């Protein structure tokens, strides 16, 4: 095998999806970088940025995290950028409206559990973690203006999300226009060799190459991955759209959410498991021959849960799902809440961490999504007392808590 063939073969190990895009020059450029790194006896620096706009990472993030894992397995260095500064700006990619502004305190609170979640996939002892607040917050107005010289308003209007908002008369704020510049500067700050992103990040990650050229760095190679469609079956999986499976979901939640994926989309999720494309093709044939798609989806749900919690917990989640949804029974193993004094039901839901806020608890009750002793709760001020001990409170289809 020639040297070129050797590195092309290594590069091919980085292919996860047929829709993946390698820019510029496809796999041959990856092979060149792998060979160059070997000769220089150094690791490639492979960048992935995540803005902590929410405390949860989700399966959509794992599309890129699993690719980082492949680079890590080849001996290269994942560089994870926590967007402590860019999260306050808000990435406008693929959006037709502005994101709500976040404070630095909110962003850093959201980021607290990120490393623990990332460790479910990557060996965190072999990654570099940076926070772009450390350098972006120190840019002077002069430096920012110099960076702004690298892009024209015409180019920004040509960006799909910006152009459509202008055409539709929707507001486009100046801070949003600055986002690609800030993300591009991240690549300079960490001297990125490769940047990984979703296909919706095309503009931002390619602009990183432009900024690196300006600073006399070799432009990063870009790998763009397809977007994972969320549980709603239409939009990309996103914290903003609340259509996601979180890496910190309980096994029961993760299993139940996977089972809610539209049948026609579940095969996109098989790419994130140990099942091969041949396996997925066989599953499709089985369905064409009359097998219930639900049975195939259960295989998928078990595999996803087992990746994060092990096969034993996946088996328990499957049993609980069958009891709850096919036999209409309450799962055997549910968390408990110690009631020490009478509480309004919305207070109990919040204190038991079943909802992020009391207003969300009220919303769920108003929409008929809360039951006590299998009876729908209609009053958010319903008082839970000692007479309700040993009762089960159900929130939505998948959350239960026993009052003790």
What is the domain-level CATH number for residue 147? 3.40.50.620
| Same-domain check for residues 168 and 186 | yes
Average pLDDT over residues 33-46: 96
- For 133, 241, 358, 386, 397, the CA distances from 363, given in Å and listed in that order, are 35, 17, 9, 25, 15
Cβ pair 212, 219 in contact under 8 A? yes
Decide if pLDDT at 68 tops 90.
yes
Domain carrying residue 391: 335-403
Number of domains in the chain: 3
- For 57, 176, 264, 384, 388, the CA distances from 157, given in Å and listed in that order, are 31, 12, 35, 55, 59
In a domain, 303, yes or no: yes
In a domain, 190, yes or no: yes
| Same-domain check for residues 79 and 34 | yes
Q: What six digits make up the tokens of 227?
A: 């977007």
| Same-domain check for residues 160 and 185 | yes
**Residues in a beta bridge with 392:** 402
| Same-domain check for residues 194 and 277 | no
- For 23, 81, 190, 220, 229, the CA distances from 217, given in Å and listed in that order, are 17, 19, 11, 9, 35
Give Dmax over CA atoms of the chain in angstroms. 77
pLDDT for res 286: 92
* pTM listed for this prediction: 0.78
Q: How far apart are CA 180 and CA 281, in angstroms?
A: 39
Residue where one domain finishes, among candidates 225, 243, 270:
225
pLDDT for res 358: 85
pLDDT in tens, 103-124: 888 888 888 889 999 999 999 9
| Same-domain check for residues 181 and 260 | no
Task: Name, in order, each residue with C-beta under 8 angstroms of 80's C-beta and a sequence gap of 6 or more.
Answer: 48, 49, 50, 68, 118, 122, 127, 128, 129, 130
| Same-domain check for residues 85 and 102 | yes
pLDDT for res 1: 66
pLDDT for res 94: 57
Decide if pLDDT at 384 tops 80.
yes
Decide if pLDDT at 331 tops 70.
no
Decide if pLDDT at 401 tops 70.
yes
pLDDT in tens, 233-282: 888 998 777 789 999 999 988 998 898 888 888 988 988 888 888 898 89
In a domain, 241, yes or no: no
| Same-domain check for residues 186 and 302 | no
Task: Name, in order, each residue with C-beta under 8 angstroms of 264's C-beta and a sequence gap of 6 or more.
Answer: 233
Q: How far apart are CA 196 and CA 67, in angstroms?
A: 8
Q: Is the dihedral of CA 124, 115, 132, 243 positive or negative?
A: positive
Decide if pLDDT at 95 tops 70.
no
pLDDT for res 58: 94
| Contacts of the segment 305-310: beta carbons below 8 A, 24+ positions apart | 305/251, 305/254, 305/255, 305/258, 307/120, 307/273, 307/274, 308/120, 308/247, 308/251, 308/254, 309/251, 309/254
Give Rg (Cα) of the chain: 24
Q: How many CB atoms lie within 10 A of CB 377?
A: 22
pLDDT for res 389: 81
End-to-end CA distance of the chain: 67
């Amino acid at each position: 095998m020639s040297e070129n063939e050797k590195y092309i073969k290594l590069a091919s190990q980085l292919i996860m999806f047929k829709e993946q895009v390698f820019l510029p020059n496809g796999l041959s450029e990856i092979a060149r970088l792998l060979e160059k790194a070997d000769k220089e006896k150094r690791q490639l620096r492979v960048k992935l940025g995540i803005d902590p706009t929410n405390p949860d990472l989700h399966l959509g993030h794992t599309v890129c995290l699993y690719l980082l894992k492949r680079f890590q397995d080849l001996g290269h260095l994942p560089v994870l950028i926590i967007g402590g500064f860019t999260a306050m700006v808000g990435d406008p990619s693929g959006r037709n409206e502005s994101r709500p502004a976040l404070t630095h305190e909110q962003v850093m609170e959201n980021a607290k559990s990120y490393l623990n979640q990332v460790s479910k996939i990557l060996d965190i002892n072999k990654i570099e973690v940076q926070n772009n607040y450390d350098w972006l917050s120190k840019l002077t107005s002069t430096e920012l203006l110099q960076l702004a010289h690298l892009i024209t308003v015409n180019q920004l209007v040509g960006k799909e999300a910006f152009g459509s908002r202008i055409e539709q008369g929707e507001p486009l704020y100046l801070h949003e226009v600055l986002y690609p510049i800030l993300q591009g500067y991240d690549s300079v700050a960490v001297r990125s060799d490769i940047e990984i992103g979703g296909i919706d990040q095309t503009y931002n990650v390619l602009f990183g190459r432009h900024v690196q050229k300006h600073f006399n760095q070799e432009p990063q190679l870009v790998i763009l991955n397809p977007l994972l469609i969320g549980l709603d079956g239409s939009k990309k999986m996103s914290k903003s759209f609340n259509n996601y499976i979180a890496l910190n979901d309980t096994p029961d939640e993760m299993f139940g959410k996977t089972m809610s994926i539209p049948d026609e989309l579940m095969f996109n999720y098989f790419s994130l498991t140990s099942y091969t494309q041949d396996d997925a093709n066989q599953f499709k044939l089985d369905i064409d021959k009359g097998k219930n798609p639900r049975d195939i989806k259960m295989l998928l749900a078990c595999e996803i849960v087992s990746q994060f919690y092990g096969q034993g917990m996946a088996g328990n989640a499957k049993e609980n799902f069958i009891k709850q949804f096919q036999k209409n029974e309450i799962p055997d193993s549910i968390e408990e809440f110690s009631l020490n004094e009478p509480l309004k039901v919305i207070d109990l839901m919040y204190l038991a961490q079943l909802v992020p806020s009391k207003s969300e608890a009220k919303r769920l009750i108003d929409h008929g999504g809360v039951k006590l002793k299998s009876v729908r709760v209609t009053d958010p001020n319903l008082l839970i007392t000692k007479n309700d001990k040993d009762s089960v409170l159900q929130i939505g289809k998948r959350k239960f808590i026993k009052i003790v």
